[in-house]
Amino acid sequence: MKYAELVKKLTRLGCEFKRQASGSHEIWFNPRTRHTTCIPRHPNKDIGKTLLTKILRDLGIDREDSGSA
């Protein structure tokens, strides 16, 4: 999954961009669960399944709830 796809999916799930983190990373917040996570902002690289699973877990989102993420 590319960065842009992840951002669209997180936004659709109700998550919000909070701020730019160090380097090329961003902090995202899930207001429903009140959890945050850091995601890499590398537009041309795929986000691997392991990292995607960690991002969803950090935000308190079940992989089943997120659709095909």
What superfamily does domain 3-58 belong to in CATH? Hypothetical protein. (3.30.920.30)
Quick one: pLDDT at residue 65?
65
Residue 44 DSSP one-character state: T
Burial of residue 8 (number of CB atoms within 10 Å: 0-12, 13-18, 19+)? exposed
Task: Answer whether 53's CB lies under 8 Å from 63's CB.
Answer: yes
- Count the Cβ atoms, other than its own, within 10 Å of residue 39: 23
Span 10-67, pLDDT tens digits? 999 999 999 999 899 999 999 999 999 999 999 899 999 999 999 999 999 987 666 6
Q: Where are the domains of the chain?
A: 3-58
